[in-house]
Chains A and B, each alone.
Chain A
Amino acid sequence: MNATTIQDKTSTLGGSRAGMSSVDLPRLAAALVIWALLLSAPFWLPLVGGYTVLGTRVLIFALVTLGLNLLLGFTGGLSFGHAAYFGLGAYGTGLMLKFVTASTPLAILVGVLVGGLAATLLGPITVRRKGIYFAMITIAIGQMFYFIAVRWNSLTGGEDGLTGFARTNVHFGGWTLDLHNPTNFYYFTLFFFAIGCFVVWMVLRSPLGHTFVAIRENPKRLRFLGLPIGVYIWIAFAISGFVAALAGSLYALLNNFTSPEDMNWILSGDFVIICVLGGMRTFWGPLVGSVIYVVVQDYLSSITVNWMSFIGAIFVLSVLFFPWGLLGFFQGRFKK
């Protein structure tokens, strides 16, 4: 496959502005502001009524949706089952810490491998179908893992969830990172979030990323060009699966707990709406969506019993009025 030809093709496809421009100043400034805010979050969060653990949750949800968005927003693969890989990462890490090792990094590695490989292995089954059919199959496969977690009592703790493990301190040579401290764990998570951002960003600027966008824009045309579309969607699926597993692994460490709910399709739906809320076709959309969704849910459920109606209304209203998300909306205004 000759990458440059694909790149040429994609830039002419369906009005897509997929070509990579050189340095874009506003964008660079935005990125700098975002990183500055993330790095200083533990200091300003309490001042605005937040708390550090909430910040960590936002990062974890941003990480999983960042990966999902590669598939959903950039490649156009409508996965409604990513909670499964998220949950597999969580269980992988939790079980490692409980039964095998006291090393947090090793447990994370295993969690990422378990979830990521599951996505890689199941990818071929799902990518044979497209569109709405793809969505249904991803949901159903996700639910299969959910029910395995619920019923395999002896290993997973079943409905009660997996307890009895806790994140341990990380040692680098003579230096120890105390992960019990919530602020330290926030930075630990931020480190992995940065890795996730870097990976997704590199993929998106590579020829592979351009092909993903091209597939979303005009799959028929690419198929006529002789491109094995299924293989590319599979690659996007696998990458997003690995990222989701990493996020799930961190989530298990955050709570020192995991349960089948971390695999449920309801959570998959949350992931998708986060992408949509922030802006599916933007790089930072998932982060913005996570901030909105996690904070609003946290706040609403404290003040009203009917929080479900409000969350549901967010789904309905954003679909009807903000289909391209907050970032999409503002960027649209800006350009006009």
Chain B
Amino acid sequence: MELLLFNIFNGLIIGIFYALMALGLSLILGLNGIINFSHGGFLALGGYIAYSLSPVIGFWGALIVSPFIVGLLGLVVERILIRPLYSRDPLFSLLLTFGLAMIMEDLIRTFWGANGLPFNVPAALSHPLSQTYFFVTGYRVFLVVLALLAIGSLFALLRYTRIGVRIRAGNADLETVSALGINIYRLRAINFGVGILFAGLAGVLAAGRLGLTPTMGASLIMPSFVAIIVGGVGSLLGSLLGGIIIGVAAGIVTTYYPAASDVVIYVIMAVVLVVRPRGLLGQEGLLE
């Protein structure tokens, strides 16, 4: 029973992590209409840049600066590579980001080396908070708090700022937004940058928990896709919910039948698709 409780808690942590990834992907999917396969590459880049920065500006500085650098890079990529593809079949942006992911992995390996790198988190975070509940470590609590903070500010941004309202409006009906005289190119660029910024943040947080390797993003991207499908394409709240659901499910299954911990999230997805094809909170007919 204690084991189960722990695994639910653990699944929650993993789920929030997936959600962080899924939110960035979901933003880009919604307004830019792109499945961003290179999200994992940007995630790894966030971790690696933080690694290189932390000797200079410390862990906390790197935690803040690195996601923004990655976000800026996202803006550049959007301007040069993604923008020409908006009017085209979604197939092309899909292939482009697929190729981009390969290039990014290779460049990271070339610059930082194939060997994993040690990424130190501050000593204050690397201890259990309690002796009985030793799995509640400082770093994990910190991870959850920070992820929730980031997700909270994203929702606030979308709700209360002018750009956020436009992004949401564009999500629902881009043509009308464009007809109202809003520069949708700028809107999409900003949106892409914010999505990538989330990938960068996820990367820094992941580097503290996992090994920093060129392939680190690859294992995280697929569960995030599933989170989006389960939650419903087009709904950010859905992506959050989807991430948590599959995280917890994977956590519970790991307790009883570790071999199925990967498969279970796809089974959940299949069930959702059969019972409720648009996903838990998805809108009908979006992006089709």
Contacts and interface: CB of A to CB of B under 8 A. Distances in A.
A320 interface: yes
A144 interface: yes
A205 interface: no
A131 B277 CA distance: 14
A28 B101 CA distance: 40
B266 A143 contact: yes
Contacts of B105: 308
Interface stretch (A7-15, A175-183, A194-202, A310-318): A310-318
Interface stretch (B87-95, B116-124, B156-164): B87-95
Contacts of B225: 136, 139-140
Interface residues of B, number: 46
A128 interface: yes
B95 A136 contact: no
Contacts of A318: 95
Contact of A309 (B98, B102, B273): B102
Contacts of A134: 288
B278 to A, nearest CB: 8
Nearest to A270: B98
A272 B95 contact: yes
Interface string B169-212: 00000000000000000000000000000000000000000000
B100 interface: yes
Contacts of B92: 276, 319, 323
B33 interface: yes
A312 B29 contact: no
A144 B102 contact: no
Contacts of A314: 99
A150 B102 contact: no
A151 interface: yes
Contacts of B262: 147, 150-151
A279 B85 CA distance: 18
A78 B90 contact: yes
A140 B91 contact: no
Interface in A278-310: 306, 308-309
Interface in A9-26: none
Nearest to A315: B99
A22 to B, nearest CB: 31
B267 interface: yes
Interface stretch (B10-18, B57-65, B226-234): B226-234
B90 A131 contact: yes
Interface string B96-118: 10111111011100100000000
Contacts of A143: 222, 266
A198 to B, nearest CB: 27
Interface string A242-274: 000000000000000000000001000100110
Contacts of B241: none
A315 B287 contact: no
B150 interface: no
Nearest to A277: B95
15 contacts: A80-B94, A132-B33, A132-B34, A132-B288, A140-B222, A144-B263, A144-B270, A151-B260, A265-B222, A269-B98, A272-B94, A272-B95, A311-B99, A312-B103, A315-B100
Given A136-B228, A269-B37, 20 more contacts: A78-B90, A129-B277, A129-B288, A133-B287, A140-B269, A141-B266, A141-B270, A143-B222, A147-B266, A151-B262, A153-B259, A265-B222, A276-B91, A309-B103, A309-B107, A314-B99, A315-B98, A315-B100, A316-B103, A319-B99
Interface of A: 72, 78, 80, 125, 128-137, 139-141, 143-144, 147-148, 150-153, 265, 269, 272-273, 276, 306, 308-309, 311-316, 318-320, 323
